[in-house]
Amino acid sequence: MHTTLAGAPSAFEGGLRPLGSGTWAWIQPDGGWGEANAGLVVGDGASAVIDTLWDQRRCREMLAAMAGPTADAPVRLAINTHADGDHWWGNAELPADARITTSSEARTAMDEEETPRGMARLRRLTGLSGRLPGRAGEMGRYVRGMLEPFDFRHVDLRLPDDSFHGSATEEVGGRALELRMLGPAHTVGDLIVHVPDAGVLYAADLLFVGVTPVMWAGPVDSWIAALNAILALDAGTIVPGHGPVGGPDEVRAMRDYWTWLEQAVAAQHRMGHKALEATIEILGDPDAAAYRRWLVPERTLISVSVMQRHLEGDGPLPRTTAVRAALFDQVASVRRALGDDLG
């Protein structure tokens, strides 16, 4: 039986999945909170890793699984696709001589993110609050379940060595990797990695497959434009940041989702509904039936909050612990309010 990091039965198989032409995807079922994917591109005598997961223990497991393909092609390059910790906090496990790069926007955002020490503290506090009755206990249990599979106490941050504006071409073992920054969307600095000679594209968190996406930055028009840019590259195999490997059809499905949600949020905003009420109304509508089947649909609350801010002329949500805690309190409320309909 295949399982998630938390030990629950999973919907699909994880681990190192060959994509052909010297490319691989590292898949973490079921693609929920922190269950991020990564990638490997092997060239002649050198390899590149795309993202390094949320803690060093998980990254060690991944690099051990990659030992076969990289035996004669050591990892010389790593690419961090954006600033969320579940895509780069494993960096310290990379070989010391591996160079790490990211977008300039992501590099700046990394300095503003919550630290592993802060996440370890949050995990400890939610373990305590999860024993309480009522809403506080509900939120504590929700966040504790999210963080439990990860060891934030033993993470030594290793930041990228350099960054780029707009686009860049990296060479590894004679192979060209095309990097393009397509944010702001999921975060301010989302980048993709295109391997033209393999027809493979690593979309990171610009694409979720079978999993509800999270918009931390936006605006939604920018995310839709990023998905159109991905489709224009005509890659046959596309690795999402969360969920199983997909292709152009899954990109179109995500574009349809954002088009639908944009219209639904605008309608709720015109009625003066705040994010929590709006999200419950949106997910309770019959038109949302297909999207309620995606994993963790309660995360829609976060995207609705950000989209409402943009409608009101504000920017992305402040990246503070207090703001995140308030959001997760409402996310847990959405889960409770919609109950079994969210599964």
Query: Is 10 inside any structural domain?
Result: no
CA distance 160 to 50: 12
Residue 121: pLDDT over 60 = yes
Query: Is 131 inside any structural domain?
Result: no
Q: What global pTM score does this model have?
A: 0.95
* Inter-residue contact 273 to 188 (CB < 8 Å): no
Domain at 187, CATH number: 3.60.15.10
Query: Is 9 inside any structural domain?
Result: no
For 124-141, the pLDDT digits (tens) are 877 666 566 666 677 788
Domain extent, residue 312, equals: 15-125+140-342
Residue 110: pLDDT over 90 = yes
For 33-44, the pLDDT digits (tens) are 999 999 999 999
Domain count, the chain: 1
Of 264, 150, 254, 165, nearest to 205 by C-alpha is 254
CA distance 42 to 46: 6
* Lowest-confidence segment of 30-39, 143-152, 186-195, 279-288 by average pLDDT: 143-152
For 220-232, the pLDDT digits (tens) are 999 999 999 999 9
Mean pLDDT over residues 177-199, rounded?
97
Query: Is 74 inside any structural domain?
Result: yes
3-state secondary structure of 286: helix
Pairing relationship of beta strands 15-20 and 23-27 according to DSSP bridges:
antiparallel
Task: Report, in angstroms and rounded to the nearest whole number, the Rg of the chain calculated over CA atoms.
Answer: 19
For 151-177, the pLDDT digits (tens) are 999 999 999 999 999 999 999 999 999
Spatial strand order of the sheet with 175-181 comes to 167-172, 175-181, 191-195, 200-208, 237-242
DSSP at 68: T
To the nearest whole number, what is the mean pLDDT of the chain?
Answer: 93
User: Residue 342: what pLDDT?
Assistant: 41
Query: Is 332 inside any structural domain?
Result: yes
Query: Is 201 inside any structural domain?
Result: yes
Rounded (10°) CA dihedral 206, 211, 214, 219: 50
Query: Is 107 inside any structural domain?
Result: yes
Q: What tokens appear for 75 in the block?
A: 């990892």
Identity of residue 187: T
For 83-104, the pLDDT digits (tens) are 999 999 999 999 999 999 999 9
User: Residue 47: what pLDDT?
Assistant: 98
